[in-house]
Amino acid sequence: MNVLIVYAHHEPSSFTAAMKNVAVQTLEADGHNVVVSDLYGQGFSAVAQKWDFVTTSGNHFNYMTEQKHATNLQMAYSPDILGEIQKLQAADTLLIMSPIWWFSVPAILKGWFDRVLAMGVAWDTGKFYENGLMRGKQAMLCLAGGHPTEYYTVNGRHQASVNQMLHPINHGTLAFCGFNVHEPFTALNVLSANNESREKALKDMEFRVKNIPHSPQWLTLYA
């Protein structure tokens, strides 16, 4: 596999960083090609702006239609976006490593979705879900959450399961673009977990990543 890991955490000693390191080591040991986009390390901008494009259409500025315009002009994107698009196009597997913040992901990762999963690149008019431009690729969220597992249930403190929380990303973003989407891997209660619990979570992470090619757990699979 050619794997792109999009990593969104600013602390190298974080549990999210440990998950990323385990994924890289496991995949490379199995002979897969791995590229990591360290969004904080790269200083990736979360903000969609006019200067994301080499030139604009000159019409009323609409970020989505300007993406299509840039795609049609031989990928006339700013270097940071173009670099990420090229990584994405070269990959057949996308792993997203992030903490859970506010029932979602950090702004820097949302900015990656906004700026890189561009119109004409990841989706287009009439080309989404089973016809999305990312069809044939697979994606999986690998997230760390601070609260106890029992919080993440319909009857728990958060009044939502992890899959319900992540539906806008798994379905409204990844599946929308045509990715086959795996059940997310989530390590919960990481803020108060002891070393034994953390090691078990990392072993579970290793198992999931190692078995992506062999026994995938699909959330969305396009035939």
Q: Which residues are catalytic?
A: 146, 152, 158
Contact 131, 85 (CB under 8 A): no
Q: What is the DSSP letter of 177?
A: T
The residue type found at 120 is: G
Tokens matching residue 111: 């900015």
Contact 28, 15 (CB under 8 A): no
DSSP 5-43: EEE--S-TTSHHHHHHHHHHHHHHHTT-EEEEEEHHHHT
Tally of CB atoms within 10 A around 168:
13
Strand partners, 3: 34, 93
Return the percent helix, strand and coil in the chain, to nearest 5.
40, 20, 40
d(CA 108, CA 125): 26
